[in-house]
């Protein structure tokens, strides 16, 4: 029997507006189907998570990539990270400006430099060197400025974790950051071990109020509990999320381990997500089950 593959993707955790989320659900189902096909065809988890996150970035359906809204200076500064579990290689960009796929820039950091993270001008320069696709008309390309959100830290992000046929795990996360953020603000998503993590046993991607996920070291905590305490991804992710909540934050965590066991807990009103379970089933949801 072929080794199981599994994948979880998220389109951000947070409040749910009083509207239908059918477009996002349809899109996430298509992406889950695509992820399942790629994984069954033997495509490495690292390439699959990048592919899925890129598709979410360009869709404008989520607060990442094209769907990002500007910071208080009217500029779009985007964060992203990608990590390969088996090799522990990782790449991340923070406050990247002017490129269609921040996750592609994160991959370029991993593949083209000896570093893990580049920020600001350095990230832009590398993206240029890697000949990544540019955003030439940001005012038209990105989402319009979001209405001021009354919550302290309003959120939106996309992410994907996957287990491939060779048993390799990978994680990718990309975000426009929090709405109306201060220029230069960097969230948890590009910080390896906070918003994004993958090792030999588990891959994790977080979404929510990044400041709290950083202070809870959420992704790394969940992974360490799988690794050292032999917890299931579900137990480990719930533990990490409890600490986020104790500190006053909300959001969600997706995870998959080397056995194909998945987790998708959240403590916010909703989290857009889709799962390819190890038995091949696909589930899609935005609210609690
Ligand atoms: N965690 C992201 C950030 O703080 C936002 C989100 O996930 O919605 O930048």
| pTM as predicted | 0.96
CB 232 within 8 A of CB 260: no
Using alpha carbons, list the distances in angstroms from residue 227 to 81, 139, 237: 21, 45, 12
Q: Is 232 a catalytic residue?
A: no
> Which residue has better confidence, 203 or 139?
203
Fold classification of 6-285 (topology level)? 3.60.20
Of 155, 157, 175, 178, the active-site residue reads 157
Residue 225 has pLDDT above 70, yes or no: yes
Q: What is the pLDDT of residue 148?
A: 55
**How crowded is the C-beta side of 277, counted as CA atoms within 13 Å?**
6
Each residue's pLDDT tens digit, 69-120: 889 998 999 999 999 999 999 999 999 999 999 999 999 999 999 999 999 9
Give the Cα separation of 67 and 117 in Å (integer): 23
Looking at the CA of residue 181, tell me the nearest atom of ligand 1.
Answer: 9
253 CA → ligand 1 middle, Å: 11
Each residue's pLDDT tens digit, 150-209: 555 556 799 999 999 999 999 999 999 887 889 999 999 999 999 999 999 999 999 999
How is residue 274 written in tokens?
Answer: 């889709």
Whole-number average pLDDT of the chain: 94
155 CA → ligand 1 middle, Å: 5
For the chain, which residues make up each domain, given as ranges? Answer: 6-285
Q: What is the pLDDT of residue 110?
A: 98
């Amino acid at each position: 029997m072929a080794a199981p593959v599994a994948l979880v993707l998220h389109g951000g955790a947070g409040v749910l507006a009083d509207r239908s989320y059918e477009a996002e659900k349809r899109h996430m189902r298509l992406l889950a189907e695509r992820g399942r096909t790629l994984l069954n065809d033997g495509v490495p988890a690292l390439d699959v998570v990048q592919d899925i996150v890129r598709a979410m970035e360009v869709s404008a359906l989520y607060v990442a990539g094209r769907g990002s809204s500007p910071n208080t200076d009217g500029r779009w500064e985007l964060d992203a990270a990608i990590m390969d579990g088996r090799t522990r290689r990782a790449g991340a960009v923070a406050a990247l400006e002017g490129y269609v796929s921040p996750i592609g820039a994160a991959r370029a950091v991993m593949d083209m430099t000896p570093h893990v993270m580049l920020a600001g001008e350095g990230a832009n320069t590398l993206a240029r060197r890697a000949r990544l696709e540019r955003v030439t008309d940001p005012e038209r390309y990105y989402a319009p400025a979001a209405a001021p959100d009354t919550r302290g830290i309003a959120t939106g992000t996309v992410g994907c974790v996957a287990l491939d046929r060779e048993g390799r795990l990978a994680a990718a996360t990309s975000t426009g950051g929090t709405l109306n953020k201060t220029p230069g603000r960097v969230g948890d998503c590009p910080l390896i071990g906070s918003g994004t993590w993958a090792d030999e046993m588990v891959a994790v991607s977080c979404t929510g109020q990044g400041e709290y996920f950083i202070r809870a070291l959420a992704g790394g905590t969940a992974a360490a509990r799988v690794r050292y305490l032999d917890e299931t991804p579900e137990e480990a992710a719930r533990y990490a999320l409890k600490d986020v909540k104790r500190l006053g934050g909300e959001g969600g965590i997706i995870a998959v381990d080397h056995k194909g066991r998945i987790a998708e807990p959240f403590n916010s009103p909703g989290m857009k997500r889709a799962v390819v379970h190890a038995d091949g089933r696909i589930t899609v949801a935005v609210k609690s089950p």
